[in-house]
A and B are shown apart, each in its own frame.
Chain A
Protein backbone atom coordinates (compact mmCIF):
# COMPACT_ATOMS: atom_id res chain seq x y z
CA UNK A 1 0.00 0.00 0.00
CA UNK A 2 1.01 3.62 -0.42
CA UNK A 3 2.30 5.68 2.47
CA UNK A 4 -0.95 7.63 2.64
CA UNK A 5 -2.97 4.40 2.93
CA UNK A 6 -0.64 3.09 5.63
CA UNK A 7 -1.07 6.24 7.68
CA UNK A 8 -4.85 5.81 7.39
CA UNK A 9 -4.77 2.09 8.28
CA UNK A 10 -2.30 2.19 11.13
CA UNK A 11 -3.03 4.53 13.99
CA UNK A 12 -0.43 5.93 16.35
CA UNK A 13 2.18 6.83 13.77
CA UNK A 14 2.83 10.19 12.13
CA UNK A 15 4.24 10.72 8.65
CA UNK A 16 7.42 12.32 9.97
CA UNK A 17 8.09 9.34 12.26
CA UNK A 18 7.42 6.83 9.52
CA UNK A 19 9.84 8.65 7.19
CA UNK A 20 12.48 8.60 9.92
CA UNK A 21 12.04 4.84 10.45
CA UNK A 22 12.43 4.23 6.74
CA UNK A 23 15.51 6.44 6.64
CA UNK A 24 17.05 4.48 9.50
CA UNK A 25 16.28 1.23 7.75
CA UNK A 26 13.92 -0.09 10.44
CA UNK A 27 11.28 -0.48 7.77
CA UNK A 28 12.33 -1.20 4.18
CA UNK A 29 9.45 -0.51 1.79
CA UNK A 30 9.82 -0.99 -1.94
CA UNK A 31 10.09 2.00 -4.18
CA UNK A 32 7.61 2.20 -7.01
CA UNK A 33 7.55 5.18 -9.36
CA UNK A 34 9.41 7.30 -6.86
CA UNK A 35 6.95 6.45 -4.09
CA UNK A 36 7.23 4.14 -1.11
CA UNK A 37 5.22 0.96 -1.41
CA UNK A 38 4.59 -0.94 1.81
CA UNK A 39 4.08 -4.70 1.58
CA UNK A 40 2.05 -6.52 4.23
CA UNK A 41 5.21 -7.41 6.14
CA UNK A 42 6.28 -3.75 6.12
CA UNK A 43 2.92 -2.68 7.56
CA UNK A 44 3.21 -5.36 10.24
CA UNK A 45 6.73 -4.15 10.98
CA UNK A 46 5.54 -0.56 11.39
CA UNK A 47 2.96 -1.94 13.81
CA UNK A 48 5.74 -3.78 15.63
CA UNK A 49 7.80 -0.59 16.05
CA UNK A 50 4.69 1.20 17.36
CA UNK A 51 4.10 -1.60 19.87
CA UNK A 52 7.71 -1.54 20.97
CA UNK A 53 7.42 2.13 21.78
CA UNK A 54 3.90 2.27 23.13
CA UNK A 55 3.34 -1.11 24.73
CA UNK A 56 6.87 -2.07 25.66
CA UNK A 57 8.04 1.47 26.45
CA UNK A 58 11.29 0.87 24.59
CA UNK A 59 13.15 4.13 23.97
CA UNK A 60 13.92 5.12 20.38
CA UNK A 61 17.63 4.38 20.94
CA UNK A 62 16.87 0.82 21.99
CA UNK A 63 14.70 -0.07 19.01
CA UNK A 64 17.46 -0.97 16.48
CA UNK A 65 18.95 -3.34 19.04
CA UNK A 66 15.64 -5.09 19.62
CA UNK A 67 14.83 -5.20 15.89
CA UNK A 68 18.22 -6.69 15.15
CA UNK A 69 17.68 -9.42 17.77
CA UNK A 70 14.15 -10.08 16.51
CA UNK A 71 15.50 -10.43 12.94
CA UNK A 72 18.19 -12.82 14.11
CA UNK A 73 15.70 -14.94 16.01
CA UNK A 74 13.46 -15.26 12.94
CA UNK A 75 16.51 -15.97 10.80
CA UNK A 76 17.57 -18.74 13.14
CA UNK A 77 14.04 -20.11 13.42
CA UNK A 78 13.84 -20.26 9.65
CA UNK A 79 17.15 -22.10 9.31
CA UNK A 80 16.30 -24.42 12.17
CA UNK A 81 13.02 -25.28 10.50
CA UNK A 82 14.75 -25.93 7.16
CA UNK A 83 17.34 -28.07 8.85
CA UNK A 84 14.60 -30.00 10.64
CA UNK A 85 12.73 -30.55 7.37
CA UNK A 86 15.94 -31.67 5.68
CA UNK A 87 16.61 -34.17 8.46
CA UNK A 88 13.01 -35.36 8.32
CA UNK A 89 13.46 -36.12 4.61
CA UNK A 90 16.44 -38.42 5.27
CA UNK A 91 16.23 -42.21 5.46
CA UNK A 92 15.64 -43.67 8.91
CA UNK A 93 19.26 -44.68 9.55
CA UNK A 94 20.51 -41.15 8.82
CA UNK A 95 17.85 -39.65 11.10
CA UNK A 96 18.82 -42.08 13.82
CA UNK A 97 22.52 -41.29 13.46
CA UNK A 98 21.74 -37.58 13.84
CA UNK A 99 19.49 -38.18 16.83
CA UNK A 100 22.19 -40.32 18.46
CA UNK A 101 24.77 -37.62 17.89
CA UNK A 102 22.52 -34.95 19.42
CA UNK A 103 21.62 -37.02 22.45
CA UNK A 104 23.89 -36.16 25.35
CA UNK A 105 26.20 -38.97 26.45
CA UNK A 106 24.82 -40.93 29.34
Chain B
Protein backbone atom coordinates (compact mmCIF):
# COMPACT_ATOMS: atom_id res chain seq x y z
CA UNK B 1 0.00 0.00 0.00
CA UNK B 2 2.01 2.96 -1.18
CA UNK B 3 -0.67 5.33 -2.46
CA UNK B 4 -0.88 8.72 -0.83
CA UNK B 5 -3.68 8.56 1.74
CA UNK B 6 -5.01 11.98 0.84
CA UNK B 7 -5.29 10.95 -2.81
CA UNK B 8 -6.95 7.68 -1.88
CA UNK B 9 -9.61 9.49 0.14
CA UNK B 10 -9.89 12.27 -2.43
CA UNK B 11 -9.24 15.12 0.00
CA UNK B 12 -6.75 17.99 0.07
CA UNK B 13 -3.73 17.87 2.38
CA UNK B 14 -5.27 20.76 4.26
CA UNK B 15 -8.66 19.07 4.73
CA UNK B 16 -10.18 19.22 8.20
CA UNK B 17 -10.54 16.09 10.32
CA UNK B 18 -14.30 16.28 9.76
CA UNK B 19 -13.92 16.38 5.97
CA UNK B 20 -11.57 13.44 6.03
CA UNK B 21 -14.02 11.43 8.13
CA UNK B 22 -16.89 12.31 5.79
CA UNK B 23 -14.87 11.41 2.70
CA UNK B 24 -13.94 8.09 4.27
CA UNK B 25 -17.50 7.19 5.28
CA UNK B 26 -18.69 8.03 1.80
CA UNK B 27 -16.09 5.74 0.22
CA UNK B 28 -16.69 2.99 2.76
CA UNK B 29 -20.44 2.96 2.11
CA UNK B 30 -19.76 2.71 -1.57
CA UNK B 31 -17.04 0.05 -1.38
CA UNK B 32 -17.68 -2.18 1.63
CA UNK B 33 -17.13 -5.79 0.43
CA UNK B 34 -20.28 -7.10 2.09
CA UNK B 35 -22.35 -4.53 0.27
CA UNK B 36 -20.63 -5.48 -3.00
CA UNK B 37 -20.18 -9.23 -2.63
CA UNK B 38 -19.38 -9.91 -6.27
CA UNK B 39 -16.94 -7.06 -6.76
CA UNK B 40 -13.26 -7.87 -6.07
CA UNK B 41 -12.19 -4.42 -7.15
CA UNK B 42 -14.40 -2.77 -4.53
CA UNK B 43 -12.81 -4.95 -1.86
CA UNK B 44 -9.30 -3.83 -2.84
CA UNK B 45 -10.30 -0.20 -2.91
CA UNK B 46 -12.06 -0.56 0.45
CA UNK B 47 -8.88 -1.93 2.02
CA UNK B 48 -6.92 0.91 0.50
CA UNK B 49 -9.36 3.46 1.91
CA UNK B 50 -9.23 1.77 5.32
CA UNK B 51 -5.44 1.90 5.32
CA UNK B 52 -5.46 5.56 4.30
CA UNK B 53 -7.98 6.42 6.99
CA UNK B 54 -5.95 4.58 9.61
CA UNK B 55 -3.25 7.17 9.02
CA UNK B 56 -4.91 10.46 8.27
CA UNK B 57 -8.03 9.76 10.35
CA UNK B 58 -5.87 9.75 13.46
CA UNK B 59 -4.60 13.20 14.44
CA UNK B 60 -1.34 11.91 15.85
CA UNK B 61 -0.51 9.58 12.94
CA UNK B 62 -1.57 12.24 10.46
CA UNK B 63 0.86 14.74 11.97
CA UNK B 64 3.67 12.18 11.85
CA UNK B 65 2.80 11.27 8.26
CA UNK B 66 2.79 14.95 7.24
CA UNK B 67 6.22 15.39 8.84
CA UNK B 68 7.46 12.34 6.96
CA UNK B 69 8.07 10.29 10.09
CA UNK B 70 5.91 7.45 8.83
CA UNK B 71 4.98 6.57 5.29
CA UNK B 72 1.86 5.11 3.79
CA UNK B 73 3.44 1.66 3.97
CA UNK B 74 3.11 -0.78 6.78
CA UNK B 75 -0.06 0.73 8.06
CA UNK B 76 -2.39 -1.95 6.81
CA UNK B 77 -4.79 -3.41 9.29
CA UNK B 78 -4.02 -6.98 10.25
CA UNK B 79 -5.46 -9.15 7.55
CA UNK B 80 -8.53 -10.90 8.79
CA UNK B 81 -10.85 -12.96 6.69
CA UNK B 82 -13.74 -10.79 5.72
CA UNK B 83 -17.29 -11.74 6.59
CA UNK B 84 -17.86 -12.47 2.92
CA UNK B 85 -15.27 -15.23 3.05
CA UNK B 86 -17.55 -17.22 5.40
CA UNK B 87 -21.01 -16.05 4.40
CA UNK B 88 -20.38 -16.71 0.72
CA UNK B 89 -19.05 -20.23 1.29
CA UNK B 90 -22.48 -21.87 1.45
CA UNK B 91 -25.72 -21.99 3.36
CA UNK B 92 -24.57 -23.97 6.37
CA UNK B 93 -24.31 -21.11 8.80
CA UNK B 94 -26.81 -19.50 11.17
CA UNK B 95 -27.04 -16.28 9.17
CA UNK B 96 -28.22 -17.91 5.97
CA UNK B 97 -31.44 -16.29 4.82
CA UNK B 98 -33.93 -17.70 2.34
CA UNK B 99 -36.11 -14.62 2.66
CA UNK B 100 -34.85 -13.23 -0.64
CA UNK B 101 -36.78 -15.94 -2.52
CA UNK B 102 -39.22 -17.18 0.11
CA UNK B 103 -42.18 -16.12 -2.01
CA UNK B 104 -40.90 -18.03 -5.07
CA UNK B 105 -42.77 -20.96 -3.52
CA UNK B 106 -45.63 -19.90 -5.80
CA UNK B 107 -43.65 -21.22 -8.74
CA UNK B 108 -44.75 -24.77 -8.12
CA UNK B 109 -42.46 -24.92 -5.11
CA UNK B 110 -39.51 -25.49 -7.41
CA UNK B 111 -37.22 -23.50 -5.19
CA UNK B 112 -38.32 -24.83 -1.85
CA UNK B 113 -38.23 -28.40 -3.19
CA UNK B 114 -34.89 -27.96 -4.87
CA UNK B 115 -33.15 -26.30 -2.02
CA UNK B 116 -35.21 -27.91 0.70
CA UNK B 117 -34.69 -25.02 2.99
CA UNK B 118 -37.23 -23.83 5.44
CA UNK B 119 -36.87 -20.19 6.35
CA UNK B 120 -34.05 -19.83 8.74
CA UNK B 121 -33.45 -17.14 11.26
CA UNK B 122 -31.91 -13.84 10.42
CA UNK B 123 -31.11 -10.89 12.61
CA UNK B 124 -33.59 -10.21 15.36
CA UNK B 125 -34.32 -13.76 16.34
CA UNK B 126 -31.73 -14.14 19.03
CA UNK B 127 -31.06 -17.39 20.78
CA UNK B 128 -34.69 -18.32 21.24
CA UNK B 129 -35.59 -18.68 17.62
CA UNK B 130 -36.54 -21.92 16.00
CA UNK B 131 -33.82 -22.86 13.63
CA UNK B 132 -33.66 -25.69 11.16
CA UNK B 133 -30.60 -27.88 11.63
CA UNK B 134 -27.86 -27.69 9.02
CA UNK B 135 -27.77 -30.03 6.09
CA UNK B 136 -24.84 -32.40 6.10
CA UNK B 137 -23.10 -33.58 2.94
CA UNK B 138 -21.49 -36.95 2.35
CA UNK B 139 -20.29 -38.92 -0.61
CA UNK B 140 -20.93 -42.57 -1.23
CA UNK B 141 -19.83 -45.00 -3.93
CA UNK B 142 -22.06 -47.67 -5.47
CA UNK B 143 -21.41 -50.41 -7.99
CA UNK B 144 -22.46 -49.86 -11.57
CA UNK B 145 -25.06 -52.60 -11.39
CA UNK B 146 -26.59 -51.20 -8.18
CA UNK B 147 -26.92 -47.86 -9.89
CA UNK B 148 -28.50 -49.55 -12.91
CA UNK B 149 -31.04 -51.71 -11.13
CA UNK B 150 -31.49 -49.79 -7.89
CA UNK B 151 -30.51 -51.15 -4.49
CA UNK B 152 -30.78 -50.62 -0.77
CA UNK B 153 -27.54 -49.91 1.03
CA UNK B 154 -26.74 -49.30 4.66
CA UNK B 155 -24.18 -46.57 5.00
CA UNK B 156 -22.18 -45.47 8.01
CA UNK B 157 -21.86 -41.74 8.42
CA UNK B 158 -18.63 -40.16 9.66
CA UNK B 159 -20.30 -39.62 13.03
CA UNK B 160 -21.02 -43.35 13.38
CA UNK B 161 -24.74 -43.28 12.62
CA UNK B 162 -26.05 -45.83 10.17
CA UNK B 163 -28.54 -44.81 7.52
CA UNK B 164 -30.48 -46.89 5.03
CA UNK B 165 -30.05 -45.47 1.59
CA UNK B 166 -32.32 -46.41 -1.28
CA UNK B 167 -30.40 -46.14 -4.50
CA UNK B 168 -33.01 -45.57 -7.20
CA UNK B 169 -32.73 -47.50 -10.46
CA UNK B 170 -30.92 -45.64 -13.23
CA UNK B 171 -29.03 -43.42 -10.79
CA UNK B 172 -26.44 -41.19 -12.46
CA UNK B 173 -22.87 -40.66 -11.34
CA UNK B 174 -22.74 -37.61 -9.07
CA UNK B 175 -26.48 -37.62 -8.34
CA UNK B 176 -27.37 -36.22 -4.92
CA UNK B 177 -29.82 -38.13 -2.76
CA UNK B 178 -31.58 -36.26 0.01
CA UNK B 179 -32.41 -38.04 3.24
CA UNK B 180 -34.99 -35.87 4.93
CA UNK B 181 -34.29 -34.93 8.55
CA UNK B 182 -31.07 -36.94 8.74
CA UNK B 183 -28.84 -33.86 9.04
CA UNK B 184 -28.00 -31.81 12.08
CA UNK B 185 -30.68 -31.47 14.75
CA UNK B 186 -32.77 -28.32 14.77
CA UNK B 187 -32.53 -25.66 17.45
CA UNK B 188 -35.43 -24.49 19.64
CA UNK B 189 -37.81 -27.08 18.26
CA UNK B 190 -36.86 -26.36 14.65
CA UNK B 191 -36.79 -29.25 12.18
CA UNK B 192 -33.67 -31.29 11.54
CA UNK B 193 -31.56 -30.61 8.51
CA UNK B 194 -31.23 -33.13 5.71
CA UNK B 195 -28.39 -35.45 4.76
CA UNK B 196 -27.31 -34.86 1.17
CA UNK B 197 -25.50 -37.87 -0.23
CA UNK B 198 -23.55 -37.43 -3.43
CA UNK B 199 -23.40 -40.86 -5.02
CA UNK B 200 -20.54 -41.82 -7.29
CA UNK B 201 -20.96 -44.79 -9.60
CA UNK B 202 -17.97 -47.08 -10.01
CA UNK B 203 -16.90 -47.94 -13.52
CA UNK B 204 -17.90 -51.38 -14.82
CA UNK B 205 -15.49 -53.69 -16.62
CA UNK B 206 -17.92 -54.31 -19.49
CA UNK B 207 -20.59 -51.61 -19.52
CA UNK B 208 -20.26 -47.91 -20.09
CA UNK B 209 -23.16 -45.50 -19.66
CA UNK B 210 -23.87 -42.66 -22.08
CA UNK B 211 -27.06 -40.77 -21.31
CA UNK B 212 -29.58 -43.55 -20.85
CA UNK B 213 -27.82 -45.92 -23.24
CA UNK B 214 -25.34 -48.65 -22.41
CA UNK B 215 -22.28 -49.32 -24.55
CA UNK B 216 -20.55 -52.69 -24.70
CA UNK B 217 -17.71 -53.96 -26.83
CA UNK B 218 -18.32 -57.56 -27.87
CA UNK B 219 -15.49 -59.75 -29.18
CA UNK B 220 -16.54 -62.29 -31.87
CA UNK B 221 -14.60 -65.16 -33.42
CA UNK B 222 -13.47 -65.11 -37.04
CA UNK B 223 -15.98 -67.78 -38.08
CA UNK B 224 -18.81 -65.88 -36.32
CA UNK B 225 -17.81 -62.76 -38.23
CA UNK B 226 -17.72 -64.52 -41.60
CA UNK B 227 -20.64 -66.91 -41.22
CA UNK B 228 -22.82 -65.03 -38.75
CA UNK B 229 -24.63 -66.81 -35.94
CA UNK B 230 -26.10 -66.52 -32.49
CA UNK B 231 -23.92 -65.14 -29.68
CA UNK B 232 -24.52 -64.46 -26.00
CA UNK B 233 -24.34 -60.80 -24.99
CA UNK B 234 -24.19 -59.40 -21.45
CA UNK B 235 -26.81 -56.75 -20.64
CA UNK B 236 -27.61 -55.02 -17.38
CA UNK B 237 -30.59 -57.42 -17.10
CA UNK B 238 -28.39 -60.49 -17.58
CA UNK B 239 -27.15 -62.26 -20.73
CA UNK B 240 -29.32 -62.47 -23.84
CA UNK B 241 -28.88 -64.17 -27.22
CA UNK B 242 -28.37 -62.04 -30.29
CA UNK B 243 -27.81 -62.80 -33.95
CA UNK B 244 -24.64 -61.55 -35.58
CA UNK B 245 -25.28 -61.18 -39.32
CA UNK B 246 -23.09 -62.81 -41.93
CA UNK B 247 -19.99 -60.89 -43.01
CA UNK B 248 -19.70 -58.69 -39.91
CA UNK B 249 -16.66 -56.44 -39.51
CA UNK B 250 -14.74 -55.11 -36.52
CA UNK B 251 -16.36 -51.82 -35.57
CA UNK B 252 -19.81 -52.78 -36.83
CA UNK B 253 -22.48 -51.84 -34.35
CA UNK B 254 -25.66 -53.57 -33.29
CA UNK B 255 -28.39 -52.33 -31.03
CA UNK B 256 -30.58 -54.00 -28.43
CA UNK B 257 -33.62 -51.80 -27.97
CA UNK B 258 -34.83 -51.14 -24.44
CA UNK B 259 -31.82 -52.71 -22.74
CA UNK B 260 -30.44 -49.41 -21.47
CA UNK B 261 -31.17 -47.40 -18.34
CA UNK B 262 -34.69 -46.47 -17.28
CA UNK B 263 -35.77 -43.06 -18.53
CA UNK B 264 -37.77 -41.30 -15.83
CA UNK B 265 -40.19 -43.30 -13.75
CA UNK B 266 -42.12 -45.04 -16.54
CA UNK B 267 -41.26 -48.17 -18.51
CA UNK B 268 -39.26 -46.35 -21.15
CA UNK B 269 -35.61 -47.35 -21.32
CA UNK B 270 -32.56 -46.46 -23.32
CA UNK B 271 -30.82 -48.94 -25.65
CA UNK B 272 -27.72 -51.05 -25.49
CA UNK B 273 -25.20 -50.43 -28.24
CA UNK B 274 -22.85 -53.25 -29.11
CA UNK B 275 -19.66 -52.57 -30.92
CA UNK B 276 -18.25 -55.76 -32.45
CA UNK B 277 -14.58 -56.67 -32.61
CA UNK B 278 -13.25 -59.63 -34.56
CA UNK B 279 -10.72 -61.61 -32.53
CA UNK B 280 -8.36 -64.17 -34.07
CA UNK B 281 -7.45 -67.39 -32.24
CA UNK B 282 -4.88 -66.78 -29.51
CA UNK B 283 -2.30 -69.13 -31.05
CA UNK B 284 -1.40 -69.18 -34.76
CA UNK B 285 -3.42 -71.92 -36.43
CA UNK B 286 -1.68 -73.90 -39.14
CA UNK B 287 -4.89 -75.09 -40.74
CA UNK B 288 -6.33 -71.60 -40.95
CA UNK B 289 -3.10 -70.30 -42.45
CA UNK B 290 -3.04 -73.00 -45.08
CA UNK B 291 -6.66 -72.37 -45.96
CA UNK B 292 -6.23 -68.59 -46.25
CA UNK B 293 -3.09 -69.04 -48.35
CA UNK B 294 -5.00 -70.87 -51.03
CA UNK B 295 -8.11 -68.73 -50.54
CA UNK B 296 -6.18 -65.47 -51.06
CA UNK B 297 -4.72 -66.70 -54.33
CA UNK B 298 -8.15 -66.63 -55.91
CA UNK B 299 -10.03 -64.09 -53.77
CA UNK B 300 -7.53 -61.40 -52.82
CA UNK B 301 -9.14 -57.99 -52.09
CA UNK B 302 -7.74 -54.60 -51.06
CA UNK B 303 -9.60 -52.92 -48.16
CA UNK B 304 -7.24 -49.92 -48.48
CA UNK B 305 -8.23 -49.11 -52.04
CA UNK B 306 -9.76 -45.75 -51.01
CA UNK B 307 -6.62 -44.68 -49.19
CA UNK B 308 -4.60 -44.46 -52.40
CA UNK B 309 -1.54 -46.04 -50.82
- B-binding residues in A (CB < 8 A): 22-26, 28, 31, 40-41, 44-45, 47-48, 51-52, 55-57, 64, 66-68, 70-79, 82-83, 86, 89, 91
Question: A28 contacts which of B24, B115, B121, B211 (Cβ < 8 Å)?
Answer: B121
Within 8 A of A (CB), among B100-146: 100-101, 111, 114-115, 121-127, 129
Which chain A residues border B29 with CB–CB below 8 Å? Answer: 56-57
Question: B86 contacts which of A26, A40, A79 (Cβ < 8 Å)?
Answer: A40
Chain A proximity mask over B294-309: 1 for CB below 8 Å, otherwise 0: 0000000000000000
Please tell me the number of chain B residues within 8 Å of chain A, measured between CB atoms: 44
B250 to A: closest C-beta gap in Å: 30
Given A23-B126, A71-B122, A77-B88, A55–B97 Cβ distance below 8 Å?
Answer: no
B110 to A: closest C-beta gap in Å: 10
Contact status B88-A78, CB under 8 Å: yes
Contact status A56-B101, CB under 8 Å: no
A92 to B: closest C-beta gap in Å: 11
Given A75-B91, A78-B90, A68–B50 Cβ distance below 8 Å?
Answer: no
Within 8 A of A (CB), among B55-109: 80-88, 90-91, 93-101
Contact status B125-A25, CB under 8 Å: yes
New A-B pairs, 15, CB < 8 Å, besides A56-B25, A68-B123: A24-B123, A28-B95, A28-B125, A28-B126, A28-B127, A41-B83, A44-B87, A48-B82, A68-B99, A73-B100, A74-B88, A75-B96, A77-B37, A78-B91, A82-B114
Contact status A82-B115, CB under 8 Å: yes
Question: A47 contacts which of B83, B95, B127, B174 (Cβ < 8 Å)?
Answer: B83
**Alpha-carbon separation in the docked complex, A26 to B90 (Å):** 19
Q: Which residue of A lies closest to B77 (CB)?
A: A11
Given A28-B95, A57-B25, A75-B96, A47–B80 Cβ distance below 8 Å?
Answer: yes
B229 CB–A CB distance under 8 Å: no
Which chain A residues border B111 with CB–CB below 8 Å? Answer: 79
B209 CB–A CB distance under 8 Å: no
Contact status B123-A67, CB under 8 Å: yes
Question: A25 contacts which of B82, B100, B126 (Cβ < 8 Å)?
Answer: B126
Question: B99 contacts which of A26, A44, A45, A75 (Cβ < 8 Å)?
Answer: A75
Q: Which residue of A lies closest to B100 (CB)?
A: A72
Given A47-B80, A77-B37, A64–B124 Cβ distance below 8 Å?
Answer: yes
Contact status A70-B34, CB under 8 Å: yes
Return 19 A-B CB contacts under 8 Å, by A number: A24-B124, A25-B122, A31-B127, A41-B83, A45-B95, A48-B34, A48-B82, A55-B25, A56-B25, A57-B25, A67-B122, A67-B123, A68-B97, A71-B87, A72-B97, A76-B100, A82-B115, A83-B114, A91-B211
